[in-house]
Amino acid sequence: MQKRARLFLFVLLAAFGAFIPASAQASVLVEQVSADYYFGEYVTLRGKVTTSQPITDVLVFLRSSGDANTLVERASLDADGFVHLRHAIQDGALRPFADVNFWFRFTLADGSTTDSPEFFFRYLDNRFPWQTNTEPNLRVHWYAGDATFGQDALDAARSAIERVGKLLPVTLNAPIDVFVYASSADLQTALEMGSQAWVAGHASPDLGVALVSIAPGSEQVLAIERQIPHELAHILTYRLAGERYSLLPVWLKEGIASVAELSPSPDYAVSLDLATQNGRLISFSTLCDSFPLDASSRFLAYAQSASFTRYIVDEYGISGLNRLVLAYADGLSCAQGVQQGLGLPLEQLERTWRANRLGENRLGLALQNLAGYFFVFAILLVLPIAPAFLVKKTPNEPSTPVK
């Protein structure tokens, strides 16, 4: 049964539980500040206001961590001196799992204004009865499944951090939270992603938050060992590249995340083999900014990125992979990053990967793809002269003398 959770924050900045706003002229005291919300529906903010002169207007400002936009709404002030705001999420979304800062702006009878200090609450998904397993700087939350399920998730998270630590020079020096949803529908609702059924996980690297969808059951271990490491790798790669993480090519970000998986999908090899045979491999130059939207091509893009990244590590070592990450974080383009980090063009690196890892015979494949054109060309060449070979001499026709 879903429970409506309440989150109350009491901020004490003065000796007896009140605070004085920053302005020296302001004569407004605020205490008993609280935030009460239900995820995806509303947020209610309250505070007890004491002032030496009448307040004519109250505005409330809300800004989520990592969000450049600030929501502004007008609050009410009742006769008992309580300021009150009920914000409907549909009127202005708050970033899920982020800290939300909020503050009040009071307009006084003399026309002056004063702002309160900032308060905050963490906007978590409180629709579910979460259970939590904790280690230093690592927390795993789940609401479906038993204690074994939760322990498996925590073990996979720990192993993933160790695995990524062998690829990238990162350590767990700041908290990470992993939220395990029981279905992709629950996860998609949390992120307002609509009906994209292929979305199984999501990471907010700057928040240190990973979301995965794993149903308890016979396949839970494989799913846990695939999804949790994948999303954690995004967070740890972000911690190496910093705020310029977004500059990394998508194929590299997803490639590192796929290599981190403890139980990679066996269908990756099948997808790569079929694409190689059919000449349908996707050029990495088109996988720099985004992956295809259709499920089949998107899966192939993940398979290619995993294989390509493993090839880079095998051929150029851990140092090569790190040079590549830092080159992109330095602002180089998709093509320039490979040239700077590994010393050759992206196209050449891709050709050697195709030949060495996929056994692609580019000449043979090209001839195979052109076979149909050769056939048509042959027909067009032969048809005009064919009648000359088909004309037969009649029995009574005299022979032409040779001169």
Which domain range does residue 73 map to? 28-122
E-assigned strand segments in 296-387: none
Examine residue 7 and state whether it is found in any structural domain, yes or no: no
Examine residue 6 and state whether it is found in any structural domain, yes or no: no
E-assigned strand segments in 109-233: 113-115, 119-122, 131-135, 138-142, 176-181, 201-204, 209-213
- Do residue 213 and residue 190 come from a single domain? yes
pLDDT by residue for the chain (403 residues), tens digit each? 444 444 333 332 222 233 333 334 457 889 999 999 999 999 999 999 999 889 999 999 999 999 999 999 999 999 999 999 999 999 999 999 999 999 999 999 999 999 999 999 999 999 999 999 999 999 999 999 999 999 999 999 999 999 999 999 998 999 999 999 999 999 999 987 654 555 679 999 999 999 999 999 989 999 999 999 999 999 999 999 999 999 999 999 999 999 999 999 999 999 999 999 999 999 999 999 999 999 999 999 999 999 999 999 999 999 999 999 999 999 999 999 999 999 999 999 999 999 999 998 754 444 444 444 444 444 555 455 555 545 444 455 444 444 4
The CATH number of the domain holding residue 189 is 3.40.30.160
Number of compact structural domains in the chain? 3
CA-wise closest residue to 46 among 76, 16, 17 = 76
- Do residue 299 and residue 234 come from a single domain? no
Instruction: Classify the phi-psi angles of 139: left when phi > 0, otherwise alpha if psi is within -120 to 50, otherwise beta.
Output: beta
- Do residue 313 and residue 283 come from a single domain? yes
Instruction: Classify the phi-psi angles of 94: left when phi > 0, otherwise alpha if psi is within -120 to 50, otherwise beta.
Output: beta
Per-residue DSSP letter, 45: E
CA-wise closest residue to 157 among 254, 237, 260, 241 = 260
Q: Measure CA 227 to chain center.
A: 12
Pairing of strands 138-142, 176-181: parallel
Rounded CA separation 118/113 (Å): 16
Copy the structure tokens of residue 22: 């920053």
Examine residue 216 and state whether it is found in any structural domain, yes or no: yes
Mark 24-44 as b/e (b = at least 16 C-beta within 10 Å): eebebbbbebbbbbebbeebe
Sign of the CA dihedral with 289 first, then 286, 255, and 180 last: positive
- Do residue 255 and residue 371 come from a single domain? yes
Supply the pTM of this predicted model. Answer: 0.81
> What is residue 360's predicted lDDT score, i.e. its pLDDT?
85
